[in-house]
Amino acid sequence: MATVTIQTGSAQPLRVRDALEMPGDDRAPVQGRSSRSDAYPIHVTRTLPEALLRLNDLIGDARVGLITDSAVESLHGRALLEGLDDLGIRPDVAVVPSGEVHKSLDEAVRLWHWLAAGPLGRRDVLLAFGGGVVIDMGGWVAAGYMRGMRYINLPTTLVGQVDAGIGGKLAVNHGEAKNLIGGFHQPTGVVSNVSYLETLDVRHIRAGLAETIKKALIASPDYWTFIEARAEAILAKDLEALEQLVAAAGAIKATLIERDPYEYDSRRTLGFGHALAHPLETITGYGPIIHGEAVALGMVVECRMAAARGLLAQDTLERVIALLARVGLPTCAAELPAAVDGDALIAATEKVRLARGGHLRWVLPAALGDTLIVDDVTDRELRAALRACGIDVRRQLS
Ligand SMILES: NC(=O)c1ccc[n+]([C@@H]2O[C@H](COP(=O)([O-])OP(=O)(O)OC[C@H]3O[C@@H](n4cnc5c(N)ncnc54)[C@H](O)[C@@H]3O)[C@@H](O)[C@H]2O)c1
Ligand SMILES: [Zn+2]
pLDDT for 396: 62
What 3-state DSSP class applies to 224?
helix
Please choose from 42, 105, 133 the residue to mutate so as to test ligand 1's pocket, defined by most ligand atoms within 8 A of CB.
133
Cα–Cα distance for residue pair 186/167, rounded to 1 Å: 6
pLDDT for 6: 42
Exposed, middle or buried, 359 (CB in 10 Å: 0-12/13-18/19+)? exposed
Of the bound ligands, which one is closest to the alpha carbon of residue 164? 1
Atom of ligand 1 nearest to the CA of 100: 20
295 C-alpha vs ligand 2 centroid, how far in Å? 6
384 C-alpha vs ligand 2 centroid, how far in Å? 24
pTM flag (> 0.85): yes
pLDDT for 8: 43
pLDDT for 267: 81
125-130 and 150-155 beta bridge pairing = parallel
Could you tell me which residues are beta bridge partners of residue 43?
191
pLDDT for 247: 97
- Flag residues of the chain having pLDDT under 70: 1-11, 395-398
Q: Nearest Cα to 326, choosing from 388, 239, 233, 390?
A: 233
- The answer to whether residues 392 and 342 touch, using CB atoms and an 8 Å cutoff, is yes
Q: How many CB atoms lie within 10 A of CB 354?
A: 10
157 C-alpha vs ligand 1 centroid, how far in Å? 6
- The answer to whether residues 153 and 140 touch, using CB atoms and an 8 Å cutoff, is no
pLDDT for 109: 98
218 C-alpha vs ligand 1 centroid, how far in Å? 22
Helix spans in the chain (H) = 48-59, 70-72, 78-86, 105-117, 132-144, 158-159, 202-219, 221-235, 239-259, 274-283, 291-308, 314-326, 342-355, 379-388
Atom of ligand 1 nearest to the CA of 76: 31
User: Which residue CA neighbors atom 19 of ligand 1 most closely?
Assistant: 131
208 C-alpha vs ligand 1 centroid, how far in Å? 9
pLDDT for 36: 76
